[in-house]
Amino acid sequence: MKRLFVNLLACAFVPASFSQAPAQSTLWTADPPAVSSGALALMEKAQGHEEALGDQIQSAARPRTSLLSWLLSLVYPALGLSFEGINFNQNAANTGFLQIPPDPSGAAGPGHVVSVVNSSIQWFTKEGALQRNQSLRTFFGPLAPQTNTFDPKVVYDPHAGRFVVVTLERVGTANNDAANRSRIYLAVSDDSDPNGAWYFLEINSRVVIGAADRWADFPGLAVDEEAVYVTANMFSFATAPGFGGVRLWVVPKLPFYSGGAAAANIYDPVGLANVNPNGDGAVATTAQPTMMYGAPPAGLGTFLVQYGGLTNGVNAFLGVIRVDNPLTSPTFEGRFLNLGPFAGVDNLFLGFPGGPQLGTTRTIATNDRRVSQAPVWRNGNLYLAAPTVAPAVLAADAGQVTARWWRVNTTSLPALSLADTGIAGGEEIAPGTFTFFPSVAVDSKGNMAIGFAATAPSIYPGAYFAMRLVGDPPGTTRPAGVLRAGLDFYVRDFTTSTTVPSRWGDYTGISIDPEDNSTFWVYNEYALTRGTVIPELPEEDGRWGTAFGSFAFACTLGCPTDIVVPNDPGVCGARVTYPEPTSTGSCGNIATSHPSGSVFPVGTTTVTITGTRQDGSTDTCSFKVTVLDTTAPVIGNAYASPSTLWPPDGQMEWVTVNYSVIDNCDPSSSCQLSAISSEGSVPATIGNPTRDIQIIDAHRLLLRARRNEGGPGRFYFITISCRDREGNQSEKEVRVRVPRDQLFR
């Protein structure tokens, strides 16, 4: 599979008011060039055509002194879980070929991470236990690929809880040959566990454009709540006529996600945007579909993002094609977003230099300015990243390939606006660091992470990451963290040239953990120690490795569930021990308003758990502890005075009931008296003194001094009832008697 293309924009529609940066002539090997059993396979791919950058946000240049001191006070987030992925030789064991570049792409699910490279797939538990390792050709076996396939990508669908994998296939080198073959292979897991069933879809991507049939290259992969989106650049099978535009395939999730007979609808998004009178039009250049998180505005499907080479001589522009109603009546509306003067952020008229590395004069291929991984839409903002060539104004990075990120405000869909931009310059890694192949992910709070490759004169090519919190000063990026530092220099291009930059990339992988929406998982390549020399190419030696790593600056706290307990005996409260709160991410120092084991008062108390990060920002969670007062009042020292009524002359006599009341919580428990007679007399009520018993208040009553003749005498049973405010009640009885005769007094 050999292909060569230079300056694809020369074939593209370009608005009359725009021009583009000059073409670059550096060649780069294709996916997947391979060497197996001593046989040399050369596959070439021309450097791309995307060139543009500029920025209207002045702070996006090197931060001012006040911001620089802020940056110097920060440290990068530490890696959490991290483990090795597939490498150069292990991949060859799967596929039968040594392959460059690896095209690493990875995604995280609730319990697993899945990675793809040219041309293998692996998945692991999050603790690093390998559960699958096989070639993509074997993985897609139900579709019977004819080759190992190339340019794979994987994403996790947060809406449906599935992994989605794409890879491409091309067979043929002559235009319009009946044997030509171009395929897009898609797979989706049946749930969030990749160890279950997978459903497969084969898309015939051999498309006639102009006078030649075309094959699909460099896919974009993304999802929203209802569809899977795949984009590709279309090339002729022979070298000429070359680039034929961009195509988009929209795959409805149903029936694909249920294993039914799925199908894809193909569109020319650039052509359709150019005939839409509501937009600015579009340019035929690489278009990456956007990963959509949360609920987008009604009708919105995804954004196709194009970064490269568009300028009016002063400003640079970002191309954005909005796709609406993707499953019913799709519409495509293009916008050119003004990024500001390109002289401030990207030297558009300088080709991409190779990145220097320690130990050799051979450089690392940094490729071009295109967005190579899916942008992210979340909470009304569109995030993306691409490599640039830093202009003179970025003094420390001037002339170096430098990863840049943008945040676009999409609140008004017809009027997108640039909200923020900055760079991951990498000078804190080493002087003269090149940063390239950036990818972005965004957590639920708007914190952004960037994965990228880096190399410099004093370091070997490695894998790095950086972050910015949503509250950080505009245009700033926190210092880089290390996924894996390179272990050796890397010379590998599968040619006899002694000057061609060694193939790297073509992209990196980063995703947000759907389990907590705050932990990031980055997947990237780095240079292993050398040790695989191909006899036909004795001048080169280099081996790539890959690794997964997790990190977070955001903090997700998990509080215990609400607790309800009775009070401790004799105490107006209870000593409550609760489970330790959980924390995920970078929560810093964790404090609680009421430590476990504290005595909580009767009633409801809110317990707040606070995590304070190193920058002073906080995250909190809370739960409630309710202590129920279940202790009734205690009635003591109860007696009636007098306790005997004599003589039994039928008169109403005053009786005082003495008692004390003690309550653990309520000093004002309410009490009342009630009484009955052993001879069945009917109690009197207040205002009706004709009866034998008349209750006056909680301590006094009138009792009639009378008993039946010939009987044993009369007893009055007086009950003291006391109730607290929680409804707990206790009773105590005292007696007053009217004796049968004086002898029994």
pLDDT in tens, 305-316: 999 878 888 998
Q: Using the predicted structure, report yes or no on whether residue 37 has a pLDDT greater than 60.
A: no
Q: What are phi and psi of 299, to 5 degrees?
A: 90, -20
| DSSP assignment letter at 159 | T
Q: Do 161 and 88 reside in the same domain of the chain? A: yes
Residue with tokens 């109603």: 325
Residue 212 tokens read as 């030649």
Q: Do 643 and 733 reside in the same domain of the chain? A: yes
Range of the domain at 614: 556-628
Is residue 269 situated within a structural domain?
yes
E strand intervals along 538-663: 544-551, 555-558, 563-566, 573-575, 582-585, 589-592, 599-601, 603-612, 618-628, 634-641, 652-662
Domain-ending residue, one of 535, 553, 571: 553
Domain-ending residue, one of 529, 553, 577: 553
Residue 404 tokens read as 């840049």
Is residue 528 situated within a structural domain?
yes
Of 189-193, 262-266, 585-589, the least confident: 585-589
Helix (H) or strand (E) holding 95: helix 88-95
Helix (H) or strand (E) holding 527: strand 520-527
Q: Do 495 and 445 reside in the same domain of the chain? A: yes
In angstroms, how far apart are the furthest CA atoms of the chain? 134
Q: Do 190 and 288 reside in the same domain of the chain? A: yes
Q: Can you give the pLDDT at residue 614?
A: 59
Is residue 2 situated within a structural domain?
no
Q: Can you give the pLDDT at residue 682?
A: 54
Q: Do 319 and 390 reside in the same domain of the chain? A: yes
* Band (710; pLDDT cuts 50, 70, 90): confident
Is residue 42 situated within a structural domain?
yes
- CATH classification of the domain holding 471: 2.130.10
Domain-ending residue, one of 582, 608, 628: 628
Q: Using the predicted structure, report yes or no on whether residue 286 has a pLDDT greater than 80.
A: yes
* Band (554; pLDDT cuts 50, 70, 90): low
Residue 376 tokens read as 């992210």
E strand intervals along 342-431: 355-357, 360-364, 376-378, 381-389, 401-409, 417-424
Q: Do 622 and 740 reside in the same domain of the chain? A: no
Residue 38 tokens read as 């001593």
Residue with tokens 């690794």: 547
Q: In what order do the strands lie in the sheet with 713-723?
A: 670-677, 713-723, 729-739
Q: Do 161 and 267 reside in the same domain of the chain? A: yes
Q: What's the CA gap between 517 and 557, in Å, rounded?
A: 12
3-state secondary structure of 395: helix
User: Which contacts qualify for 248-251: CB closer than 8 Å, 24 or more apart?
Assistant: 248/287, 248/289, 248/304, 248/323, 249/184, 249/203, 249/205, 250/301, 250/323, 250/326, 250/327, 250/330, 251/186, 251/201, 251/203, 251/227
pTM above 0.95, yes or no: no
- CATH classification of the domain holding 622: 2.60.40
Q: Do 316 and 426 reside in the same domain of the chain? A: yes
β-strand partners of 583: 557
Q: How many domains does the chain have?
A: 3
Q: Do 399 and 526 reside in the same domain of the chain? A: yes
Is residue 680 situated within a structural domain?
yes
Is residue 286 situated within a structural domain?
yes
Q: Do 541 and 560 reside in the same domain of the chain? A: no
Q: Do 643 and 717 reside in the same domain of the chain? A: yes
Is residue 32 situated within a structural domain?
yes
Q: Can you give the pLDDT at residue 27?
A: 26
Is residue 1 situated within a structural domain?
no
Residues 559-563 have a mean pLDDT of: 96
Q: Using the predicted structure, report yes or no on whether residue 360 has a pLDDT greater than 80.
A: yes
Q: What's the CA gap between 382 and 98, in Å, rounded?
A: 37
Residue 20 tokens read as 């583009």
Residue 260 tokens read as 């039914």
pLDDT in tens, 490-536: 999 999 999 999 999 999 999 999 998 889 999 999 999 999 999 99
Q: What's the CA gap between 321 and 574, in Å, rounded?
A: 62
| DSSP assignment letter at 579 | P
Closest CA relative to residue 473, chosen from 53, 64, 75: 64
Task: Give, in degrees to the nearest 5, the angle at Cα 744 between 739 and 745.
Answer: 75
pLDDT in tens, 432-463: 999 999 999 999 889 999 999 999 999 999 99
pLDDT in tens, 604-627: 999 999 988 655 667 899 999 999
Q: Do 195 and 240 reside in the same domain of the chain? A: yes
3-state secondary structure of 276: coil
Using the CB atoms, write b or e for 103-135: b if 16+ within 10 Å.
Answer: bbbbbbbeebbbbbbbbbbbbbebeeeeeebeb
